[in-house]
Amino acid sequence: MRTTTIGLLTLTAGGFIALTGCQTKPIAATNQPAAISPARPPADDWQPATSNQQGKQYPQVNSERRVRARVIAPQAKTVRLDLGGIKYPLTKGKDGAWIGVSKPQDEGFHYYQLVIDGAQVPDPNSLYYYGASRWGSGLEVPAKDQDFYALKNVPHGQLRQMLYYSRSATAVLRGFVYTPPDYETNPDKRYPVLYLQHGGGEDETGWGSQGRAGLVMDNLIAESKARPFIIVMAGSYVPGANNSFATNPVESPLSRSITGPGGRSYNPVAFAKVLLQDLIPYVDANFRTLADQPHRAMAGLSMGGMQTHSITLANLDKFSHIGLFSGGSITTNEITDLNMFKQQVKLVFISYGSREVAGDHAMGANGKANADALKQAGIYSVYYESPLTAHEWQSWRRSLHEFAPLLFEDQPLPAAVSTSRPAGEPSNAALDGLPAGPRAAFNHPIVLGPDDRQVFPDPPAGFAAKRDTIPHGKLELIEYDSKTVGTTRKMSVYTPPGYSRDKKYPVLYLLHGIGGDETEWERFCTPNIILDNLIADGKTVPMVVVMPNGRAQKNDRAVGNIYAAAPAFSTFERDLLDDVIPTIQSRYSVNTNREERALAGLSMGAGQSLNFGLAHLDTFAWIGAFSSAPNTRPPANLVADPAAVNEKLKLLWLSGGNKDGLLHIGQGVHVYLKEKGVTHIWNVDGNGHDPTEWKNNFYYFVQKIFL
């Protein structure tokens, strides 16, 4: 019989051979009963599980993460605890109650059941959860990191049931919608949307109940670690879907209906139609959404990850952020138009539990390699591995916790953003392992002076939206040999609409932040789209924009302790002058005089722009620094000769947001320049250390240069 393996499913022509889309057993588990050694009794510090029904003392969990179950069944002959793929025998006491203890379990949530005289039944002591295609028992084993999904005294969003009519299914379907805490109190605000799918054998209740999605988001938003957005959780099983092939908008081997646990039929064609034709229009019509591709994401666990994979790849005009949790990965050979993919997709997130990637035949063995390959191709991809968990909810809770802060970077963080990480930089989990110094820099008090005001209004609506009716420039990723670093490096280059070798163009060198690379500007601020629109409107001159990697070292990827790479950002001065600029001048039709060369950057790149630009006035005539970071040299070192700066520099642009904990860096430079009589622009608007700040200032900066 022909079989096909896709992600976590092994299929035959008739359906599943194996489904691991819902939580089953740990990778190393067996089905043999386990006895507790009398020589080493379990720790006697049992506590009722938090997943128990109110007032019920069993099941219990101890500090070793063992589970002790108890059920009264005086007439039974045998009772077992079926947990994690192992059936543990329970022993009958004189009171007719059966009791038994398990091996240590992984942290987090687990489905379980009792087997009484061969009958599989729920535990009457437990709350009930939908999983494995049934309502049954669930068990919470306390986790060391459970604080991120704990119920706290913070503002809470709402998790509401949604009933909507599906024309494609000719049925009323159910979903659940999470709206963030300020949704009800801020009626003029619109929100991005994440469509979040459950796994095989589960339903639309999974993410809100087992996954704690609402609490994860409430806590992230309260800590200013994620932007508020709406989450839509729909059921994947469409009633009435048959087992025949149909015209599928999603090209995938999963286009045939599949029979899953409990005989439920999953038809991916039917679900794709429901999502695209019914659910998204309903949500956009009934909730205050930002109803466009840049503000719509899709993610899912296991089977939901595979749905996300197939639907998003076939509908890149609908989704800009993709999350696959234990649900396969995306390979470069699946992407038919790499440049288009990079323009449309802002994030590919791939995650697994660490126990899923162990061994040669593990289900997640290629996840990291595929994520790395995407990154090498210039696509913003993130790989996350949940420590010491398998194909289970703790892996997926942690995945959502890591995924959510990376979404919708063009939206401002909540008001406390000044104490949080810079947008586009590593996740908060990554920052937790760093020395206090780099993180503490963003906690600097914000004290505004009389000069700290907004000079230019916010750009007009749609300034960064792609317009199909105008000519577009070209964005390409090129390689060059760096003598400074001693290796081949990459940079992204924008050439304007109508670019011709018969014409010479000015050049803007545009530098990224400490956690970014040569794709960061493109991913978060879309300078190519902004310039296309401005050039079409006659508001700026056609120019070439070069976005190099400012981390001048052999491994120039933003991995590990990114702050340890700070010296490489200083080394980039030579790479820029000796390797990057000569490469651009040899390959592109550009002017080579200083009056036709500009340098600008964001955050760490803003500091580089000031450091390098002001030190080489014979090379650059236009300098822009958006949200300067602490790598900026002291003002007296930057401008040792104020008269020379005034004579040679045509524009010096400084900007920052009044919610940015790094604003004091730019303030210090501004005060010094003002004292020394150096002409410059100082623009302080209402943003934080985020892409809105950077793209807004880029919009005005490029209208001032090369005039």
pLDDT tens for 560-594 read 667 778 899 999 999 999 999 999 999 999 999 99
Query: Which CA distances in Å does 42 have to 36, 45, 62, 98, 114?
Result: 8, 9, 8, 18, 21
Mean pLDDT (whole number) for 443-470: 91
H/E element, 113: strand 108-116
Tell me which residue of 424, 203, 202, 195 sits closest to 315, measured CA to CA.
195
| pLDDT tier at 664, thresholds 50, 70, 90 | very high
DSSP 466-532: --TTS---EEEEEEEEETTTTEEEEEEEEE-TT--TTS-B-EEEEE--TT--TTHHHHHH-HHHHHH
Whether residue 215 is predicted with pLDDT greater than 70 in this model: the reply is yes
Gyration radius of the chain over CA positions? 28
Give the C-alpha separation, 221 to 407, whole Å.
12
Q: Which residues make Cβ contacts (< 8 Å) with residue 291, sequence separation at least 6?
A: 284
Model confidence pLDDT, tens digit, residues 100-138? 999 999 999 999 999 999 999 999 999 999 998 889 999
Whether residue 79 is predicted with pLDDT greater than 60 in this model: the reply is yes
- Looking up tokens 């629109």 gives 533
Higher-pLDDT residue of 558, 20: 558
Q: Which residues make Cβ contacts (< 8 Å) with residue 160, sequence separation at least 6?
A: 176, 177, 179
With DSSP H G I counted as helix, E B as strand and the rest as coil, what are the percentages for the chain, rounded to 5? 30, 25, 45
| pLDDT tier at 441, thresholds 50, 70, 90 | low
Tokens of 368: 């990291």
Q: What angle do CA 704, 706, 707 make, to 5 degrees?
A: 70
Is omega for the bond preceding 192 within 30 degrees of 0, making it cis?
no
Q: How many CB atoms lie within 10 A of CB 384?
A: 23
Indicate the domain borders of the chain.
163-414, 474-704
Give the C-alpha separation, 128 to 125, whole Å.
9
Query: Which CA distances in Å does 268 have to 5, 257, 300, 319, 328?
Result: 16, 7, 14, 18, 16
Q: Which residues make Cβ contacts (< 8 Å) with residue 49, sequence separation at least 6?
A: 59, 60, 61, 67, 126, 139, 140, 141
Instruction: Please determine whether the domains at 163-414 and 474-704 fall in the same fold group of CATH.
Output: yes
Find out whether 552 and 482 touch, Cβ atoms under 8 Å: yes
Class of residue 212 by CB neighbours under 10 A (exposed 0-12, middle 13-18, buried 19+): buried
Helix, strand or coil, per DSSP, at residue 77: coil
Helix, strand or coil, per DSSP, at residue 562: helix
pLDDT of res. 443? 55
Whether residue 460 is predicted with pLDDT greater than 70 in this model: the reply is yes
Model confidence pLDDT, tens digit, residues 513-565? 998 999 999 988 999 999 999 999 999 999 999 999 999 999 998 876 677 78
pLDDT of res. 648? 97
Judging by DSSP bridges, how do beta strands 681-685 and 651-657 pair with one another? parallel
Model confidence pLDDT, tens digit, residues 230-273? 999 999 988 865 433 233 333 333 334 444 444 445 577 889 99
What CATH number should be reported for the domain whose range is 163-414? Answer: 3.40.50.1820
Whether residue 418 is predicted with pLDDT greater than 50 in this model: the reply is no
pLDDT of res. 87? 96
Helix, strand or coil, per DSSP, at residue 607: helix
Q: Which residues make Cβ contacts (< 8 Å) with residue 10, sequence separation at least 6?
A: 3, 4, 16, 17, 18
Q: How many CB atoms lie within 10 A of CB 187?
A: 8
| pLDDT tier at 151, thresholds 50, 70, 90 | very high
Instruction: Please say whether the structural domain 474-704 has been given the CATH code 3.40.50.1820.
Output: yes
Model confidence pLDDT, tens digit, residues 160-187? 999 999 999 999 999 999 999 999 988 8
HSE-CB for 698 with a 13 A CA cutoff? 31
What is the b/e burial string over 591-613, where b = at least 16 CB atoms within 10 angstroms of the residue's CB? Answer: beebebbbbbbbbbbbbbbbbbb
Tokens of 270: 């039917």
Whether residue 329 is predicted with pLDDT greater than 80 in this model: the reply is yes
First to last CA, the chain: 70
What's the sign of the alpha-carbon dihedral 332, 279, 405, 424? positive
Give the C-alpha separation, 484 to 467, whole Å.
40
Helix, strand or coil, per DSSP, at residue 675: helix
| pLDDT tier at 426, thresholds 50, 70, 90 | very low
- Looking up tokens 């493109």 gives 522
DSSP lists the bridge partners of residue 547 as: 492
Mean pLDDT (whole number) for 465-486: 96
Give the C-alpha separation, 329 to 357, whole Å.
13
pTM for the whole structure:
0.58
Share of the chain above pLDDT 70, in %: 85
Mean pLDDT (whole number) for 49-71: 95
Residues belonging to the chain: 707
- Of 19-33, 81-95, 420-434, least confident by mean pLDDT is 420-434
